C-alpha cells in the first residue's frame, strides 16, 4: 500500500512539473495574450526561474527524493503566496502566473506529509521571506514619455485597439482586425483608436515612429501602412532609432518626427481607464455599454458582431 501511494505521488509530481513547465513556456512565447505584469529575482526573469524550478522538481521526483521534493515544493508554495499577494495588491492578474502557482500548490499538497509538517512550514516561510527580500516586479507599461494616440472614423461606436508590435498574438490578428475595422470605418459604424501598449521595451521607439508617420500624413491608409511596416520590423527584431528609420524609409513610408511627449497623459489615461494588462485587447463602447475583449479570437468575434 505504501509503495502504491509512493508511485502515485511520484507520477503526479512529475505530471504537475511538466504542466508547470508547459505553462511557463506558453507565457514566454506569449500565447493568446501578452501581459505587462513582470517580475524577477536578482535580475533573472521569473519565467526562466520557473522553468528551472519545475525541472528540478521533476528530477527530484524522478530519482525518488521525497524529502527534498517536499522541501522545494514548500519553498515554492511560500513564494507563490507572496506572488499572489503581489497580484492582489496591484489589481493585475496574470493567468499564466496563477496557473503556474496552482501547479506548485497542488504538487505540494500531493507530497505533503503530516510527520514533516514543521519542516514544510519552515521551508514555506523561507520561500516567503526569500521573495519578500529579492523579488522585483512591475505592473505598469514601460513608456517613459512617448505615447501614441490615433483615432479614425466617425461612427457611434468607439473601438479602442491595444496592441504591441512585439506581441505574437497581436501580429497574428492584425490582418483580420484591420480588414474588419476598415469595413466598419468605411460604413461610418465606428470610431477606432489605435493605442500602442508598451509591453516590450522597444515598443516605445516603434510607437514614436507610428506617430511620426501620422504626423507626415494623417489618414487611415497611412496608419495601416505604418502598422504593417512596424509589425514587420518587429518580426525582424529591428532595434535602434537609425535602423528602424532606415527600414521604414525603405518601405516608402513618409515620416515626420516630432515631440510626442505631450500625448502621454492622454494615452496613459486610456490605459488606466480600461485597466489594460495584456495585448491584444479591444475595448468596444456603444449604446449597450462597454465590453473588453482579450485575445485574437475574442476580438475578431466581437468586431464581426458589430452592426454593419
SS3 (DSSP) at 150:
strand
220 contacts 161 by C-beta, under 8 angstroms: no
138 forms beta bridges with: 38
| C-beta of residue 284 within 8 angstroms of C-beta of residue 158 | yes
pLDDT per residue as tens digits for the range 251-279: 999 999 888 877 767 777 888 889 898 99
Average pLDDT for the chain: 89
Largest CA distance in the chain: 76
Percent of the chain with pLDDT over 90: 68
Read off the pLDDT band of 148 (50, 70, 90).
very low
Q: Which grid coordinates belong to 101? A: 502557482
Beta carbons of 189 and 155 less than 8 angstroms apart: yes
Give the per-residue pLDDT at 294: 94
What is the SS3 assignment for 78-124?
A: HHHHHHHHHHHHHCCCCHHHHHHHHHHHHHHHHHCCHHHHHHHHHHH
pTM of the model: 0.70
Ramachandran bin of 118, using left for φ above 0, alpha for ψ from -120 to 50, beta for the remaining angles: alpha
pLDDT tens sequence across 230-258: 999 999 999 999 999 999 999 999 999 88
Q: Is the pLDDT score of 133 beyond 70? A: yes
For 30, the grid coordinates are 506569449
Q: Which domains does the chain have, with CATH numbers?
A: 2-138 (1.20.1440.130), 150-304 (3.40.30.10)
pLDDT exceeds cutoff 60 at 126 = yes
How many residues can be counted in the chain? 308
Amino acid at each position: 500500500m505504501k509503495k502504491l501511494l509512493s508511485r502515485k505521488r511520484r507520477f503526479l509530481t512529475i505530471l504537475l512539473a511538466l504542466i508547470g513547465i508547459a505553462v511557463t513556456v506558453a507565457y514566454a512565447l506569449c500565447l493568446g495574450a501578452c501581459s505587462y505584469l513582470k517580475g524577477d529575482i536578482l535580475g533573472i526573469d521569473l519565467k526562466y526561474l520557473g522553468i528551472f524550478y519545475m525541472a528540478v522538481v521533476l528530477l527530484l521526483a524522478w530519482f525518488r527524493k521525497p524529502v527534498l521534493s517536499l522541501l522545494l515544493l514548500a519553498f515554492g508554495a511560500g513564494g507563490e503566496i507572496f506572488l499572489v499577494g503581489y497580484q492582489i495588491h496591484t489589481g493585475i492578474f496574470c493567468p499564466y502566473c496563477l496557473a503556474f502557482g496552482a501547479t506548485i500548490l497542488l504538487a505540494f499538497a500531493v507530497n505533503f506529509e503530516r510527520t514533516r509538517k514543521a519542516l514544510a512550514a519552515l521551508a514555506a516561510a523561507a520561500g516567503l521571506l526569500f521573495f519578500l527580500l529579492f523579488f522585483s516586479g512591475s505592473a505598469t507599461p514601460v513608456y517613459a514619455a512617448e505615447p501614441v494616440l490615433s483615432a479614425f472614423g466617425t461612427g457611434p461606436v468607439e473601438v479602442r485597439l491595444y496592441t504591441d508590435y512585439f506581441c505574437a498574438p497581436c501580429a497574428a490578428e492584425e490582418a483580420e482586425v484591420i480588414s474588419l475595422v476598415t469595413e466598419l470605418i468605411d460604413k461610418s459604424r465606428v470610431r477606432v483608436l489605435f493605442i500602442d501598449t508598451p509591453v516590450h521595451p522597444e515598443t516605445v521607439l516603434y510607437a514614436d515612429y507610428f506617430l511620426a508617420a501620422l504626423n507626415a500624413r494623417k489618414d487611415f491608409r497611412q496608419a495601416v501602412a505604418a502598422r504593417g511596416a512596424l509589425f514587420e520590423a518587429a518580426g525582424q527584431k529591428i532595434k535602434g532609432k537609425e535602423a528602424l528609420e532606415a527600414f521604414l524609409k525603405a518601405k516608402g513610408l513618409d515620416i515626420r518626427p516630432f515631440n510626442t511627449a505631450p500625448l502621454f497623459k492622454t494615452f496613459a489615461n486610456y490605459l488606466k481607464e480600461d485597466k489594460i494588462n495584456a495585448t491584444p485587447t479591444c475595448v468596444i463602447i456603444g449604446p449597450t455599454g462597454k465590453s473588453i475583449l482579450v485575445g485574437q479570437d475574442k476580438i475578431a468575434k466581437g468586431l464581426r458582431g458589430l452592426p454593419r
